[in-house]
Amino acid sequence: MIEGALWRRWVFYNIPLILFVFVLLFPFYWMIITTFRPDGELYRPWNAVNYMPFWTNDPTLEHILYLFEETNFMRWMFNTMFIALVSTVISLFCGVLAGYALARLNFPYAGGLGTAIFVTYLVPQTLLFIPLAEIIRNFQLGDTPWSLILTYPTFLIPFCTWLMMGYFKAIPKELEECARIDGASRWKAMVYIVIPVAVPGILSSGIIAFTLSWNEFIYALVFLSSPDQKTVPVGVTSELIRGDVFFWGPLMAGALLGSIPVAIVYSFFVEHYVSGLTGSVKG
Amino acid sequence: MAEVSIRKLNKMFDVTHVVKDVDLEIRDKEFVVLVGPSGCGKTTTLRMVAGLEAITSGQILIDDSVVNEVPPMDRDIAMVFQNYALYPHMSVAGNMAFGLKMRKFAKPEIETRIKRAAAILGIENLLERKPRQLSGGQRQRVALGRAIVRDPKVFLFDEPLSNLDAKLRVQMRVELKKLHERLGTTAIYVTHDQVEAMTLGDRVVVMKDGWVQQVGEPLELYNTPANRFVAGFIGSPAMNFIEATLGESNGAVVAEAPGLRLSLPGPLAARARAKAGRAITLGIRPEDVHVATDSDPVDLCFDVIVEVVEQLGSEILLDTRVGPATVVASVEPTMRIRSNERLRMSLKPERLHLFDAETEAAI
For residue B75, what is the domain's CATH number?
3.40.50.300
Chain A closest-CA separation from residue B208 CA (Å): 25
Chain A with chain B: Cβ pairs closer than 8 A: 74
Domain limits at A43? 6-60
| Residue B30 pLDDT class (50, 70, 90 cuts) | very high
Same domain, B145 and B270: no
Q: How many domains does chain A have?
A: 2
* CA B266/CA A53 separation, integer angstroms: 108
Give yes or no for residue A36 having a pLDDT over 50. Answer: yes
pLDDT digits (tens, 9 = 90+) for A164-205: 999 999 999 999 999 999 989 989 999 999 999 898 889 889
Q: Is B363 within a domain?
A: no
Q: In what order do the strands lie in the sheet containing B4-13? A: B16-26, B4-13, B57-62, B65-66
Please give the pLDDT value at position A10. 87
Task: Tell me whether A185 touches chain B (CB under 8 Å).
Answer: yes
Same domain, A50 and A118: no
Same domain, A73 and A180: yes
Same domain, A35 and A153: no
Q: Which of A239, A220, A241, A240 is nearest to A231 (CA)?
A: A220
pLDDT digits (tens, 9 = 90+) for A87-140: 999 999 999 999 999 998 888 888 888 889 888 888 888 888 999 999 999 999
Same domain, B10 and B109: yes
* CA B117/CA B320 separation, integer angstroms: 52
CB contact under 8 A, A283 and B78: no
Q: Is A283 within a domain?
A: no
Same domain, B271 and B224: no
Comparing B287 with B248, the larger pLDDT belongs to: B287
Considering chain A, what percentage of its residues have pLDDT values greater than 90? 52
Chain B closest-CA separation from residue A194 CA (Å): 9
Same domain, A132 and A196: yes
Same domain, B284 and B219: no
Q: Which of A178, A23, A240, A3 is nearest to B102 (CA)?
A: A178
Q: Is A211 within a domain?
A: yes
Same domain, B61 and B170: yes
* CA B85/CA A187 separation, integer angstroms: 18
Same domain, B17 and B107: yes
Give yes or no for residue B44 having a pLDDT over 90. Answer: yes
Q: Is A282 within a domain?
A: no
CA dihedral angle for residue A52, residue A55, residue A59, residue A60, rounded to 10 degrees? 70
Question: Which candidate from B83, B98, B139 shows the least CB-CB separation from A182?
Answer: B98
pLDDT digits (tens, 9 = 90+) for A196-239: 989 888 988 998 999 999 999 999 999 998 989 999 999 998 88
CB contact under 8 A, A183 and B88: no
End residue of a domain, out of B187, B215, B233:
B233
End residue of a domain, out of A23, A40, A60:
A60
Please give the pLDDT value at position A283. 39
Stretch 49-78 of chain B: residues touching chain A, C-beta under 8 Å = 50-52, 71-73, 75, 77-78
Same domain, A135 and A263: yes
Q: How many domains does chain B have?
A: 2
Q: Is B361 within a domain?
A: no
End residue of a domain, out of B179, B198, B233:
B233
Using DSSP, state whether A182 is helix, strand or coil: coil
Quick one: closest CA in A to B96, which residue?
Answer: A182
Q: Residue A138's domain is classified under what CATH number?
A: 1.10.3720.10
Q: Which of A74, A228, A80 is nearest to A143 (CA)?
A: A228
Please give the pLDDT value at position A279. 45
Chain B closest-CA separation from residue A179 CA (Å): 7
Task: Tell me whether B96 touches chain A (CB under 8 Å).
Answer: no
Question: Which candidate from B51, B77, B88 shows the least CB-CB separation from A283?
Answer: B88
End residue of a domain, out of A14, A44, A60:
A60
Please give the pLDDT value at position A281. 46
Same domain, A53 and A170: no
Same domain, B256 and B327: yes
Q: How many CB atoms lie within 10 A of CB A42?
A: 15
Same domain, A43 and A177: no
**Which chain B residues have a beta carbon less than 8 Å from that of A197?**
87-89
Task: Tell me whether A90 touches chain B (CB under 8 Å).
Answer: no
Q: Is A147 within a domain?
A: yes
Same domain, A116 and A145: yes
Q: Is B362 within a domain?
A: no
Same domain, B17 and B113: yes
pLDDT digits (tens, 9 = 90+) for B186-205: 999 999 999 999 999 999 99
Q: Is A123 within a domain?
A: yes
Same domain, A90 and A115: yes
Q: Is B43 within a domain?
A: yes
Give yes or no for residue A276 having a pLDDT over 60. Answer: no
**Which chain B residues have a beta carbon less than 8 Å from that of A279?**
none
**Which chain A residues have a beta carbon less than 8 Å from that of B98?**
179, 182, 184, 192
Same domain, B32 and B70: yes
Q: Is B102 within a domain?
A: yes
Please give the pLDDT value at position B1. 65
Same domain, B213 and B90: yes
Q: Is A11 within a domain?
A: yes
Domain limits at B283? 240-356
Same domain, B253 and B195: no
What value does the mean pLDDT of chain B take? 90
Chain A closest-CA separation from residue B142 CA (Å): 13
CA A135 to chain centre: 25
Same domain, A79 and A167: yes
Non-local CB neighbours of A175 within 8 Å, separated by 6+ positions: A193, A194, A197, B85, B87, B88
pLDDT digits (tens, 9 = 90+) for B116-127: 999 888 888 999
Question: Which candidate from B79, B83, B87 shows the least CB-CB separation from A193?
Answer: B87
B66: left (phi over 0), alpha (psi -120 to 50) or beta: beta
Instruction: Specify whether the CB–CB gap between B89 and A196 falls below 8 A.
Output: yes
What is the average pLDDT across A31-43? 88
Same domain, A207 and A268: yes
CB contact under 8 A, B87 and A180: no
End residue of a domain, out of B214, B233, B252:
B233
Please give the pLDDT value at position B137. 87
Same domain, A78 and A152: yes
Give yes or no for residue A280 having a pLDDT over 70. Answer: no
Same domain, B178 and B100: yes
Chain B closest-CA separation from residue A187 CA (Å): 12
Q: Residue B336's domain is classified under what CATH number?
A: 2.40.50.140
- DSSP H helical ranges for B41-165: 42-50, 92-102, 107-121, 136-148
CB contact under 8 A, A282 and B88: yes
